Amino acid sequence: MAGRLVIIGAGVSGLAAAHAAAREDANLEILVLERSQEVGGRSTSMNDDGWMVEAGPGGYLDTEPEVVRLVREAGLADRQVAAQAAAARRFIYRGGRLHRLGPGLLLPTPGSLLGARGVLRAMREPFVPRGAGDDESILEFCRRRFGARIAERIAHTAMLGIFAGDAARLSVASCFPALREMEQEHGSVIRAGLARRRTAKRRADEETDAPTRKLASFQGGLQELPRALAANPRIDLRLGVSVTDIRRDAAAADGSGAYVVAMASGETLVADAVVIATPVQGAARLLGTLVPTVGDLLAQIPVPPVVVVGLGFDAAAAAKFPLGFGVLISREEGVRMLGCLWESHIWPGRSPDGCFLARAMFGGRLDAQVSELDDAEILSLARSNLQRVLGVDDAPIFSRIVRWGAAIPQYEIGHRGIKAGVEAELDRQPGVFLAGDALEGVSFPKTAVSGLSQGRRAALYLAQTEAQRASRAASGDRSAG
Ligand SMILES: Cc1cc2nc3c(=O)[nH]c(=O)nc-3n(C[C@H](O)[C@H](O)[C@H](O)COP(=O)(O)OP(=O)(O)OC[C@H]3O[C@@H](n4cnc5c(N)ncnc54)[C@H](O)[C@@H]3O)c2cc1C
């Protein structure tokens, strides 16, 4: 036996870690401990009488070759679905009306959202000199490269929609490292974007695991991936097990195991290596007892709440939703809804025939107080906001509210320092690995990639430890002989 790996958390990152470890080493004992009664974590797809509401992510951008391979190995390649064509139509609500955005958010209808002056300024981007490379906010980066109108009217609104975050505080280097690289390498985001599109197309023609670069999900929703990964017979999955503490094993010196993992039930088990794949605040607590500096650093990452409201409508109301992906709301409008996704236009099969499912999002970095509202208040807020933005005044025939007390970590200015500090400390802590959305990407595919990478590292670490142990035993035998 090459050792026992314990993974804490059965969201997509924890299960991807387990998958990678199993792929790397056929002899490893792999245990996944999950607090709740099902796998998936934030990627939970809830079915209710023909309505399918995603509690968290509705889809993911298929850009990671490693995720393409993971999906294939999980047996889900045939169950993957791409967003419908209507999803290319995206809107921003500003100045009391909807504005349609062009592809990639950067080509808005001239004269509408930006005005001719704003569009002309954005087109000058290829001629704007490179920045100094400091840790800069997304708002500042966009203002410098594309002008104030794109920054304030699009970037600010889009960051509320994508990260539930504040563009004035989010770090461009940490949230969109590719944008920074594009500026540094090509001197222009637009020029680099065109060059990258050509390379991606060439790669897509040549490689088997080339991503589609489209918004994707699975027929039964995103939870299909964690569920399929959990079915791997190599993984010993234990549900309803909440880990409370991880400590170094006093017996580790004699090689009987490195860490003692304690559970809420009072049980303990010994692990040769541990991957922590819980959300940030849980990782801060668990790592806090083991490496207090890491606990302190992780606790500095803000993770604001988000409330997701699934609203189902009949056919008469359905006709009032414009064809498209959904709408993001400009902050100045005084509307609390961050945005609304038109699920039935994006994905097939998420509402009963002829009906329409929308998902409205509230909360985030600029409105954490929304979690103080009770369900009736949230529902009434969602209805009044939909009426104001889309003129939909019909009563929903279905509703479902999901509250995330801590939804999406915010990589704000200074995040690079937190990440470097955590990684340096963990490098000095043999056998402890951190997967998930704490450091290097908050999206479903990025957390899957972090799981794959930490699972692989853990398996390699255990193989090395095993080899060292074997060689020590062999030299002991020789000297004894
Ligand atoms: C509202 C919302 C919308 C989102 N939209 C998108 C989107 O459109 N596209 C996208 O790509 N991403 C989106 N995301 C982000 C995406 O959900 C995450 O990146 C991804 O789900 C994180 O997966 P994970 O496995 O790291 O964490 P999780 O899914 O949170 O899994 C962690 C698991 O650890 C378990 N756990 C926690 N503590 C313990 C403990 N002490 N002991 C045992 N188990 C424990 C939890 O129960 C959970 O199952 C969204 C997130 C939210 C909240």
Question: What CATH code is carried by the domain that includes residue 198?
Answer: 1.10.3110.10
Q: What is the pLDDT of residue 475?
A: 82
Strand bridging mode 306-313 / 398-404: antiparallel
Q: What is the pLDDT of residue 354?
A: 95
pLDDT digits (tens, 9 = 90+) for 290-313: 999 999 999 999 999 999 999 999
Whether 69 is in a domain gets the answer no
Task: State in Å: Cα 406 to ligand 1 middle.
Answer: 10
User: Token pair for residue 379?
Assistant: 């529902």
10 CB near ligand 1 (under 6 Å):
yes
57 CB near ligand 1 (under 6 Å):
yes
In a 3-state reduction of DSSP, which class is residue 355?
Answer: coil
Q: What is the pLDDT of residue 249?
A: 84
**Are 234 and 379 contained in the same domain?**
no
Which residues are CB-neighbours of 327 under 8 A, at least 6 positions away?
Answer: 90, 91, 92, 93, 98, 339, 340, 389, 390
364 CB near ligand 1 (under 6 Å):
no
**Are 184 and 244 contained in the same domain?**
no
Q: Phi and psi (nearest 5°) for 222? A: -70, -20
By most ligand atoms within 8 Å of CB, the mutation choice from 444, 452, 453 for ligand 1 is 444
Q: What is the mean pLDDT of residues 462-472?
A: 88
**Are 287 and 422 contained in the same domain?**
yes
Task: State in Å: Cα 11 to ligand 1 middle.
Answer: 6
Whether 455 is in a domain gets the answer yes
**Are 271 and 185 contained in the same domain?**
no
Domain of 371 in residue numbering reads as 84-101+304-407
For residue 102, name the pLDDT band (cuts at 50, 70, 90): confident
CATH number for position 422:
3.50.50.60
Domain boundary among 146, 178, 206: 206
Whether 77 is in a domain gets the answer no
Task: State in Å: Cα 436 to ligand 1 middle.
Answer: 8
**Are 149 and 284 contained in the same domain?**
no
436 CB near ligand 1 (under 6 Å):
yes
pLDDT digits (tens, 9 = 90+) for 28-72: 999 999 999 999 999 999 999 999 999 999 999 999 999 999 999
Residue 252 pLDDT greater than 70, yes or no: no
By most ligand atoms within 8 Å of CB, the mutation choice from 32, 42, 229 for ligand 1 is 42
Residue 23 pLDDT greater than 90, yes or no: yes
**Are 291 and 321 contained in the same domain?**
no
Q: For all residues of the chain together, what is the average pLDDT? A: 93
> What residue type is 36 in one-letter code?
S
Residue reference for tokens 């070759």: 65
Task: State in Å: Cα 17 to ligand 1 middle.
Answer: 14
Whether 56 is in a domain gets the answer no
Whether 153 is in a domain gets the answer yes
pLDDT digits (tens, 9 = 90+) for 130-179: 998 789 999 999 999 999 999 999 999 999 999 999 999 999 999 999 99
Specify burial of residue 67 (Cβ count, 10 A radius: 0-12, 13-18, 19+): buried
Q: What is the pLDDT of residue 99?
A: 93
Q: What is the pLDDT of residue 32?
A: 98
How far from the centroid of its chain's Cα atoms is residue 156's Cα? 19
165 CB near ligand 1 (under 6 Å):
no
17 CB near ligand 1 (under 6 Å):
no
Residue nearest to atom 6 of ligand 1 (CA): 57
Residue nearest to atom 20 of ligand 1 (CA): 444
Task: State in Å: Cα 279 to ligand 1 middle.
Answer: 6
For residue 12, name the pLDDT band (cuts at 50, 70, 90): very high
Alpha carbon separation from 102 to 88, 89, 366 (Å, rounded): 8, 8, 26
Q: What is the pLDDT of residue 204?
A: 67
Task: Order the strands of the 235-239 sheet from edge to edge.
Answer: 235-239, 29-34, 4-8, 273-276, 432-434
Q: What is the mean pLDDT of residues 439-447?
A: 98
278 CB near ligand 1 (under 6 Å):
yes
Task: State in Å: Cα 39 to ligand 1 middle.
Answer: 10
Q: How far apart are CA 390 and CA 417, in angstroms?
A: 42
Residue 254 pLDDT greater than 60, yes or no: no
63 CB near ligand 1 (under 6 Å):
no
Which comes out higher in pLDDT, residue 199 or 20? 20
How far from the centroid of its chain's Cα atoms is residue 340's Cα? 18
Structural domains counted in the chain: 3
Residues 30, 54: contact at Cβ < 8 Å?
no
Q: How far apart are CA 22 and CA 461, in angstroms?
A: 13
